[in-house]
Structure 1
Amino acid sequence: MKLNWYPGAQQRRSPHYNERPPACRPSLLVVHCISLPAGEYGGNYIDDLFMGTLDCQAHPSFDSLRGVRVSAHCLIRRNGAIVQYVPFDKRAWHAGVSVFAGQESCNDFSIGVELEGTDTTSYTEAQYQALAQLTIWLQQQLPALTSERIVGHSDIAPGRKHDPGVAFDWNKYFALIKQE
């Protein structure tokens, strides 16, 4: 990959990543959603989670996050701002137990992008535009990352995960990445 950091992103270097297996290049894009607390936007809680600094006493729902070590390559805020936590050539810890096309451990070969949101709340136009621009840039860097290899977290962890959920407009997103 030519660049490991997206030029339009704010860089925050999460400690929650490791090396990909030898000769493994990203070939899958996984779209997620997150909000902390659930349904609340803005603030620093997502950032704190991915950086390993979340105060689990700050909200009752955070108790279940105690000791969790998780990250995504990127987060797209409601206003379309992109924060990148892990370089694309490294393995972020976003997919968990997962399988795509018979291949397990999707973190090994995927890029994880979180949208600030919930499974059931509409995403913003700014988020769709930012995700489309990021996707097009990634596809230019990684020819194996075709539209057929873009999935939701629910697709690689069915029954366990539901994001990005029914609120995500896949048709709109795919139309945006095909326009460029």
Structure 2
Amino acid sequence: MLKWILLGLGLAFAYWWLVLKKKHDQEKALEPRSAPPSQLKPKRMVSCSYCDLHLPEDDAIAWDGRYYCCADHRDNLSQKGWWGRAQWRASPNFDERPASIKPDLVVIHHISLPPGQFGRDRIIDFFQNKLDARTHPYFEQIAHQKVSSHFLIDRDGQVIQLVSVHKRAWHAGASQFFERERCNDFSIGIELIGDGESAFTNEQYTALAQLIDFLAKNFSNLQFAGHSDIAPDRKTDPGKSFDWARIQRLANLSKEQLPFGVEVR
């Protein structure tokens, strides 16, 4: 009799164990499956364009194809002389400033390529020595030239930087600023997309004022002039449509910073 009781208990226990195991397997099957550690995709690391700090891409600020570890680094001037807020379209047309020379002059220009057309792509191509002379008769006259500017401001207010402010861009040519020749040595060039006749846009004035404020925080005693002021026999830009009084007001410039005055010229 005891034998049959033990046998029954054994069968009951086996049945109970099988039922519980089946339930456990079913619950396990419903749980979300995570990839084995060996299959987890590693986080992509990027470098801050200001300080070179390496950090996960998800934690960085993406800006114009670059990365920054914080907004403060994006908004400042890097040690290499590039403004993080600008689009970077590097030109090969630059060289070193003379030893111990820091810029203390900003030269305002205007440019349109071909004349009277305001697209920026061809201007950038021109500054990068990529202008296709076959696409317009005027380009045959200038495609061989090697020129550049530190900054270019589009009609929509977008700021493009082409040369480090620590380097000498080739924008002023033969020039003189109050008996100081070779203005490229000590100046920063800013090109506004325009033809000298059409009015510059509100966005351009706002962007120019912001750029001037930024430069003033990094270079002391800046003065401002037009290309026509330093090369009057050759140049007329930024032209009669440029409102010097307006940029003086927007950028809070003193009379001393505008030695040629604010009259239209």
TM-score calculated relative to the size of structure 1: 0.95
In structure 1, what residue type is equivalent to 2:185?
Answer: D
Distance change (3 Å), C-alpha of 1:43 and 1:95: closer
Q: CA deviation at 1:12?
A: 1.1
1:24 equivalent in structure 2: 101
Residues 107-136 of structure 1: CA distance to partner in whole angstroms, max 9, x if unpaired? 000000000001111000000000000001
1:58 equivalent in structure 2: 135
- Structure 1 residue ranges, 4+ long, deviating more than 3 angstroms after superposition: none
Q: Is residue 103 from structure 1 mapped to residue 177 from structure 2 by the alignment?
A: no
Report the Cα distance in structure 2 between the residues aligned to 1:86 and 1:160, rounded to whole angstroms.
24
Report the Cα distance in structure 1 between the residues aligned to 2:130 and 2:77, rounded to whole angstroms.
31
Q: Is residue 165 from structure 1 mapped to residue 239 from structure 2 by the alignment?
A: yes
Equivalent residue for 1:139, pick from 208, 216, 228: 216
Equivalent residue for 2:116, pick from 35, 39, 44: 39
Report the Cα distance in structure 1 between the residues aligned to 2:139 and 2:85, rounded to whole angstroms.
30
Q: Is residue 77 from structure 1 mapped to residue 151 from structure 2 by the alignment?
A: no
Q: CA deviation at 1:2?
A: 5.5
Q: CA RMSD in A?
A: 1.3
Asked whether the 8 Å contact 1:129–1:176 carries over to 2, the reply is: yes
Decide which structure has greater helix share: 2
In structure 2, what residue type is equivalent to 1:118?
Answer: D
Equivalent residue for 1:130, pick from 204, 207, 212: 207
Q: CA deviation at 1:66?
A: 2.8
* Equivalenced residues, count: 176
Report the Cα distance in structure 1 between the residues aligned to 2:105 and 2:235, rounded to whole angstroms.
17
The unaligned stretches of length 5 or more in structure 2 are 1-75, 254-265
1:154 equivalent in structure 2: 228
Of the structure 1 ranges 60-69 and 18-27, higher mean CA displacement relative to structure 2 is found in: 60-69
Residues 70-90 of structure 1: CA distance to partner in whole angstroms, max 9, x if unpaired? 000000000000110000000
Report the Cα distance in structure 2 between the residues aligned to 1:17 and 1:64, rounded to whole angstroms.
21
The unaligned stretches of length 5 or more in structure 1 are none
In structure 2, what residue type is equivalent to 1:156?
Answer: I
Report the Cα distance in structure 2 between the residues aligned to 1:168 and 1:71, rounded to whole angstroms.
21
Report the Cα distance in structure 1 between the residues aligned to 2:172 and 2:198, rounded to whole angstroms.
21
Asked whether the 8 Å contact 1:9–1:84 carries over to 2, the reply is: yes
Report the Cα distance in structure 2 between the residues aligned to 1:2 and 1:129, rounded to whole angstroms.
19
In structure 2, what residue type is equivalent to 1:31?
Answer: I
Asked whether the 8 Å contact 1:6–1:134 carries over to 2, the reply is: no
2:263 equivalent in structure 1: none
In structure 1, what residue type is equivalent to 2:249?
Answer: A
Q: CA deviation at 1:8?
A: 1.5
Secondary structure in structure 2 of the residue aligned to 1:45: helix
TM-score calculated relative to the size of structure 2: 0.65
Distance change (3 Å), C-alpha of 1:2 and 1:8: closer
Structure with larger RCO (C-alpha < 8 A, sep 6+): 1
Larger Rg: 2
In structure 2, what residue type is equivalent to 1:132?
Answer: A
Of the structure 1 ranges 161-170 and 42-51, higher mean CA displacement relative to structure 2 is found in: 42-51
Asked whether the 8 Å contact 2:227–2:237 carries over to 1, the reply is: yes
In structure 1, what residue type is equivalent to 2:123?
Answer: I
